Amino acid sequence: MARPTTTRARTERRVRQRDFWQRRYDEDPTFFGPEESDFARWCRPILRSEAGLREVVELGCGYGRDARYLSSEGFHVRAVDLVRRSEPSSTAPRAAVEPIESDCLEFLTTLPRGKVGAVYSNMFLNMDFTEREHRDLMRAIHRALAPRGLHLFSVRSTSDPWYGRGRRVRPDTYDPSPHRVTMHFFSEAYADRLAKGLFEPVRRTERSEGGSDFPIRLWYFADRRVG
């Protein structure tokens, strides 16, 4: 059983995350833009080439731009976030998905074992998680996925221009100004360590995004459940 201090620290980090993202989306309901992410477009052919894949679970879906896109591509999407956002009316969904308000780890543990075709997340796993929490999440994703199911995720990279800025919180984890939200930056080796014994690589690439306004660098991972 987790020690009380660990549980309290975990809860405090969740509350900080929720308050931060709640404020961001209140200020700008389409903070990341009204369209789906580049990562969702990268995943589309991978998802479509999987025979019989119907169900996708999205973790940390924000205001649902990628959930809406994947749903319009014909997948049955269940999307989860700490913050509950309705779709902004200006981006009137062709295929709306009503997000589920929950901590992702708690949500994953409610799913039946081995049923989901794909677990998807864009810039979620690089949020304020310790290595132990990352390991818990990877195990919970593995448990929820069907045999040979896909785990698709994008994360901020250690070669991101924001890496190392602001206050250092843990290894590869910083509060970069001006946003003051804690982020974990992924090296390829860290992702491989987390996946060891649970997932094997299908495809991966490192990409720059955000143009000159807000340049960031992301790892895109498509992994397959083993075991």
Instruction: Enumerate binding residues for ligand SAM (CB under 6 A).
Output: 14, 17, 21, 32, 37, 60-62, 65-66, 80-83, 103-104, 122-124, 127
Q: How far apart are CA 6 and CA 201, in angstroms?
A: 32
Contact status, residue 219 vs residue 188, Cβ threshold 8 Å: yes
Minimum CB separation of residue 210 from ligand SAM in Å reads 12
Helix (H, G, I), strand (E, B) or coil at 33: coil
Minimum CB separation of residue 177 from ligand SAM in Å reads 16
**Residue matched to tokens 């039946």:** 112
Q: Residue 122 or 157: which CB sits closer to ligand SAM?
A: 122
Q: Residue 81 or 87: which CB sits closer to ligand SAM?
A: 81
Q: Residue 127 or 198: which CB sits closer to ligand SAM?
A: 127
Minimum CB separation of residue 18 from ligand SAM in Å reads 6
Gap between the terminal Cα atoms of the chain:
26
Minimum CB separation of residue 88 from ligand SAM in Å reads 12
Q: Residue 21 or 52: which CB sits closer to ligand SAM?
A: 21
The runs of H, that is alpha helices, within the chain are 4-27, 38-48, 65-72, 104-110, 131-144, 188-195
